[in-house]
């Protein structure tokens, strides 16, 4: 797992991050079954929280557009 800090040295962060990735992948698989293949799937809550799940080949392009 990779994030903008070293999650490996923080067990709770690593555990929660892994759970998030697994849940996002499960959501993506169900989304594909219902809607057909999609390279990018996103989920935005009413509170503004946002998760984007995509295949690895889009990572550099997406991250280059993120203002950090």
Query: For residue range 10-56, what is the model confidence (pLDDT) as tens digits?
Result: 888 889 989 999 999 999 999 999 999 988 999 999 999 999 998 88
Query: Is this prediction's pTM over 0.85?
Result: no
How confident is the model at residue 13, as a pLDDT? 86
Six-digit token string for 56: 């690895």
Name the more confident of 19 and 2: 19
């Amino acid at each position: 797992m990779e994030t903008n800090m070293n999650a490996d040295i923080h067990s709770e962060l690593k555990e929660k991050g892994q759970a998030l990735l697994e849940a996002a992948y499960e959501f993506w698989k169900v989304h594909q079954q219902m809607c057909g293949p999609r390279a990018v799937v996103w989920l935005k809550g009413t509170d503004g929280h946002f998760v984007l799940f995509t295949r690895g080949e889009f990572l550099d392009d997406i991250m280059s557009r993120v203002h950090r």
